[in-house]
Amino acid sequence: MQQGWTLHWLSAVLGLMGLAAAASPDFQHHRYEDMVRALYTVQSECPYITRIYSIGRSVEGRHLYVLEFSDNPGIHEALEPEFKYVGNMHGNEVLGRELLIKFSQFLCEEYRAGNQRIMRLIHDTRIHILPSMNPDGYEVAARQGPEFNGYLVGRGNAREIDLNRNFPDLNALMYYYEKTNGRNHHLPLPDNWEQQVEPETLAVIKWMQNYNFVLSANLHGGAVVANYPFDKSRDPRIRGRTTYAATPDDKIFRQLARTYSYAHSWMHKGWNCGDFFDEGITNGASWYSLSKGMQDFNYLYTNCFEITLELSCDKFPPASALPREWLGNREALVSYLEQVHHGIKGMVYDENNNPIGKAEISVAGVNHDVTGGVDGDYFRLLLPGTYTVTASAPGYVPSTRTVTVGPAEAIQLHFYLKTAPKQNLKVKPHNSKKNLSSPKNPLKLGPR
């Protein structure tokens, strides 16, 4: 009787949160075939709002499957932002993988149940979920199981390469450009970069090139904290400590990290796994400096703002711990996803109302621009406030407008650019092949 009352009370509380208590007995660890089966089950149960696609294969040939949620799967709709969750980048950090499988099931179930919050998210957002970026490493870790899993066994891919130290290092180039007033976004990749990265990394970079992602989170384990860019310190170590490396969007990143931390059941309390992080958040470089990481690469190469979520002290928790972890993270996963709808968004047109693709959007006082999509739409995450925003494109006269952003949904701000007089056209020289190398940092095998 007491147990039944408790479940009824829990259902009522979750209902007040706008999330039905979809109690499901299927909490388990998913090997590769089980994961694929689970994703296709979701797709079969919600065929009109989901699509499964592969972005490539691992070293051992396993597909890197993505499950997409949208009211028009497979289609980018103008002014509808693209969002992604990535799990299991380190093969032995498995909670993110299981949470994203469960989150996919949850989105499908809640949509079918008529949950207005979830239905609106799926109608207004294109959501991409990659449960496992490193399926080969996971299989190595899973063969040992939760009881005997070591701190490093299965962390890397099949070649034992740490995928979160495998992206092109654009931080060194960015820090140079900060001093020389160079580009502040969409930095050029080094020559032969495709030969310098692992197949899993290559697949994710190609994925980023094909979708104009606005917001992302990368799920890890080994600590409990929301970690935000920059991961790589601008300065060398000082007495064994690294220093805070702020991005031009530091305030936004702090708010994004806090959004997840405070929506999480215990991350925001700070004391976890023997460490203390105020508000449950940290700047990556302030924690420890990391080179060639994925979240910095997102920010410097694409329009995407990504944070790294450390979600469990135990990298491979037992299946019995999964229900508690799901309840602890569920609201945070939804709340963070909703952040993609803040700031400003709009279209950039020419004088004849034709969309202008790849226009650059700059915000006065923030030294980080974003580039519009090929269809002419753009998205710029901003905190509440008043901003001066400029849209520019080659061959057109830039247009500047002032906009006030509120705490609710993104403000629509459209631009109409006039063709520039021919005599005013100037081509700025740009050495896209400049590649700055930096001394190799010693490998730091922390959670990230």
Write out the catalytic residue numbers: 310
Q: Is 61 exposed, middle or buried (0-12, 13-18, 19+ CB in 10 A)?
A: exposed
How long, in residues, is the chain?
A: 448
Task: Write out the two tokens for 49.
Answer: 């709002």
Q: How far apart are CA 1 and CA 444, in angstroms?
A: 52
Any idea what the Cα angle at residue 168 is, between residues 257 and 213, rounded to 5°?
A: 45
Any idea what the Cα angle at residue 123 is, between residues 120 and 124, rounded to 5°?
A: 85
Any idea what the Cα angle at residue 61 is, between residues 60 and 63, rounded to 5°?
A: 130
Phi and psi at residue 249, to the nearest 5° = -105, 35
In the block, residue with structure tokens 């952040």 = 339
Cβ–Cβ under 8 Å, residues 141 and 98: no
Q: How far apart are CA 245 and CA 215, in angstroms?
A: 20
Phi and psi at residue 363, to the nearest 5° = -115, 125
